[in-house]
Structure 1
Amino acid sequence: MNYQIITQAEQLEAVCQSARNVDVVMLDTEFVRTRTYYPQLGLIQLYDGETLSLIDPTVIDDMSAFSALLKDTSVLKVLHACGEDLEVFNNSFGCLPYPMVDTQLMAAFLGHGLSTGFAALVENYLGVELDKSESRTDWLARPLSEKQLEYAAADVFYLQPLYEKLFEKITQAGWWEAAQQESDLVASKRIKNVNQEMAYLDVKGAWQLKPRELAILKPLATWRLKEALRRDLALNFVFKENDLLTIAKQGIQNRNRMEQEGMDPRSVQRHSTRIISIVKSAKMTPVDEFPEPIERLMDMPGYKQKFKVLKDEVKRASTASGLATEFLASKKQLNQLMSWVWKKDRDPAKLPDVMQSWRLELFGEKLNKLL
């Protein structure tokens, strides 16, 4: 397994130009995400069938040649379990690889579990046992060891023969177009336009709060998100979610109270003044401007019965198609459909997953009628 390390823009230009002359390339990334809001890109693996390149984005100033490859519609990009990789690409380069297909999804159309790992598929289809001991390594550290580099290279080297085997089987089974559609769906979900003013709706447990308490949580959650984005810090490293809920519920306006409630002393020291100011201001919110109570789907009348009816229909579709029920429609996707019907009046601009592409024909219309 020969690979080259790319550390200069001229080298990058050459390997990307070469990759754009083939029909299919293999892609992967290595990144670190411990305390940061955004994933920190450490390495990019690119294999065009002949040349395997390990691209070091930490030392190359001009990555435009790579962005051009990501956007080149004449080249299919193959990745495995690409959800977080897509986030990395979008954050680092402002674009996603297109067209793109995910081998984990291809495998799911062939009866494998939705979260089947790369090593398991490589062993299954290629008879090769991969060493995964470097998966938790620090990809931002330099220099990278030979073991790290070989681990990274293997992820795209074996991806090509795996893709070819899966492609042959999925084409025979008639699912190739569906696999492309599903890959596009996964990609579309990774581009999030975060509405900062509505960040409170993403706080777990917010549904338990009364409108008066939500009026406090809402500006607190917006402040925390803005702070996380500004400092590129994971939300809970700014201020813990449970602590935000406690402050909103009790309307705490006192630093000592925060400490008595067991909140992180460093976060309290850093942010208590700002938080107290936000709480005081929020307490002045007129009643008619309180947020609406958050009604959970599962608390709506008839939810359990309807959910079971939908689940049974998905099981029938699973038996008929040979695809796993959780791949056809997860609990989240069924809830998304019910929410679309019950809360969004079947808005055609906000179609749920099961009312799109391959799922629509297979069972989506039936589910819609059942509601």
Structure 2
Amino acid sequence: MTVHYHKGDLPADIDLGPRIAVDTETLGLSLVRDALCVVQLSSGDGDAHVVQMDRSSYDCPNLKRVLSDAGSVKILHFARFDVAMIQRYLGVTLAPVFCTKIASKLCRTYTDRHGLKDVTRELVGVDMNKQQQSSDWGAETLSQAQLEYAASDVLHLHILQDRLTAMLEREGRMEIAQACFDFLPTRAALDLAGWPETDIFAHS
């Protein structure tokens, strides 16, 4: 694994291909209170690009270009949160998207354990280290441990997509999964607009 650490933006000439694993690190889990600090990406080649945001401006045209490319599928785990964060801070709507957490919930109905660590352990055979999950992502310079943690969150998403897609197709659930993925930008917009928990489809 090689981790490429970029402050502010990606290099202008970067090409991550047709499938890009994406994750974010933030100061917390509130879309209203907590800032976007880091975006990490991988093309599935074993390398990861970790971009530390300039939170004074969020001026990162190369990153925005990669994320907004409609010709590449963005693979995320619990995409609802990351799509909303990127939408809020970078003004980019991620699409098309494949969410490995939604996929897991639709095809791994024999378990209620759908966290990235659990899904990766079962389907890839890798036991991820989550020790840096709650560290200070707003630090001026990220530590090596933080960089390795951020990278690990995107390194296995391509193979997870492949294996979950096979399971979804086997169970005849790929079409409904795709409909869920397509709805994610709208779900994120509802979260940002103040309807995070309300089921707008409910009778009352």
User: Normalized against structure 1, the TM-score is what?
Assistant: 0.49
Question: Root-mean-square deviation (CA), in Å?
Answer: 2.7
Map Cα deviations across residues 40-97 of structure 1 (whole Å, 9 max, x no partner). 1111110012342111112786312222222211111010012221221011111221
* Aligned counterparts of 1:139 and 1:8: Cα–Cα separation in 2: 14
Aligned residue for 1:338?
A: 203
* Aligned counterparts of 1:63 and 1:35: Cα–Cα separation in 2: 23
* Aligned counterparts of 1:35 and 1:166: Cα–Cα separation in 2: 28
Aligned residue for 1:7?
A: 7
SS in 2 for 1:101: strand
* Higher share of residues assigned helix: 1
Which structure carries more relative contact order (alpha carbon 8 Å, separation 6+)?
Answer: 2
Give unpaired runs (5+ residues) of structure 2.
none
- Retained in 2: the 8 A contact 1:39–1:88? no
**Does residue 79 of structure 2 align to residue 82 of structure 1?**
yes
**Does residue 74 of structure 2 align to residue 97 of structure 1?**
no
- Runs (4 or more) in structure 1 with deviation over 6 Å come to none
- Retained in 1: the 8 A contact 2:31–2:85? no
- Retained in 1: the 8 A contact 2:8–2:60? no
Map Cα deviations across residues 131-180 of structure 1 (whole Å, 9 max, x no partner). 11111111011322211111110000022222221122222322222212
Percentage of pairs with the same residue: 22
Map Cα deviations across residues 266-293 of structure 1 (whole Å, 9 max, x no partner). xxxxxxxxxxxxxxxxxxxxxxxxxxxx
Aligned residue for 1:181?
A: 179
* Aligned counterparts of 2:31 and 2:187: Cα–Cα separation in 1: 21
Aligned residue for 2:48?
A: 52
Task: Tell me which of 29, 38, 41 is aligned to 2:36.
Answer: 41
Cα separation, partners in 2 of 1:90 and 1:115, compared to 1, 3 Å: farther
Counting matched residue pairs gives 199
Aligned residue for 1:130?
A: 128
Cα separation, partners in 2 of 1:114 and 1:95, compared to 1, 3 Å: farther
TM-aligned CA deviation for residue 36 of structure 1: 8.3
2:189 partner letter: I
